[in-house]
Chains A and B, each alone.
Chain A
Amino acid sequence: AAGVIQSPRHLIKEKRETATLKCYPIPRHDTVYWYQQGPGQDPQFLISFYEKMQSDKGSIPDRFSAQQFSDYHSELNMSSLELGDSALYFCASSLGESAGVVETQYFGPGTRLLVL
């Protein structure tokens, strides 16, 4: 079965540079979530989108922005990169939830970002 696709898988940037991470959800999934996982830590929620609109926001720095496009893929844009931004960035997708129905989030393989 098709899974969540993320690109690139690995990215090396210098401090103060910008980075763009891409996420392609499972076909027919209209909701995407972004998570950041630092070394030895649990994934932390950043932001989510449903039908191209932001649906929830977590601990996402102001230097980061994201959007969801008409084909439901999403991009996470990161500017003025700092050393502390080095982490694994996961995208997850799900079907849109209706009242009383919880949809499972399926995770992509992640993008490993290293900021030097």
Chain B
Amino acid sequence: GESVGLHLPTLSVQEGDNSIINCAYSNSASDYFIWYKQESGKGPQFIIDIRSNMDKRQGQRVTVLLNKTVKHLSLQIAATQPGDSAVYFCAEKRGNTGFQKLVFGTGTRLLVSP
């Protein structure tokens, strides 16, 4: 089976609850942040992004909050569903020039119980 994420922090929620996944970043020069969802055996899937000149951005059932003061990022998932079960990574992109690599944070495993 899939071994990615065995030792990751885990958040367990009930179906229908709201989930909040947190991420801290260290580089104040980072200007672009992305949340990815990784299901077992699959590549990271883009969920939502936010630029450093914003503090909130909403998508379908997801909201990303950015607090630059404390270098903190969060992903809120409304009405969590079993299909949301996966490992969630925040990633940051550094610099103002193009082709900058993504630097991933430690993932969080989300387990949704029916």
Known: A56-B100, A102-B93, A104-B49. A40 touches B3 (CB 8 A): yes
Known: A90-B43, A104-B49. A42 touches B98 (CB 8 A): no
Q: Which residue of A has the minimal Cβ distance to B95?
A: A56
- Any B CB within 8 A of the CB of A106: yes
Q: Is A31 an interface residue (CB 8 A)?
A: yes
**Residues in chain A near residue B45, CB distance under 8 A:** 107
Total residues of chain B contacting the partner, CB 8 A? 30
Of all chain B residues, the one with the shortest Cβ separation from A31 is B99
Considering the chains assembled together, what is the distance between the CA atoms of A105 and B41 in angstroms?
18
CB contact under 8 A between A40 and B42, given known A45-B103, A55-B99, A102-B51 = no
Main secondary structure of the interface of B (DSSP, over half): loop
Whole-angstrom distance between the alpha carbons of A58 and B7 in the complex?
24
Which residues of B are in contact with A by a Cβ distance under 8 Å?
A: 3-8, 32, 34, 36, 41-46, 49, 51, 89, 93, 96, 98-107
- Tell yes or no: A50 within 8 A of B by CB: yes
Interface size on A, residues (CB 8 A): 33
A residues lining the B interface (CB < 8 Å): 4, 31, 33, 35, 37, 39-45, 48, 50, 55-56, 58, 88, 90, 92, 96-100, 102, 104-110
Closest chain B residue, CB of each to CB of A57: B101
A40-B7 in contact (CB<8A): yes
If the complex has contacts A104-B34, A107-B44, are A37 and B99 also in contact, measured as CB distance less than 8 A?
Answer: no
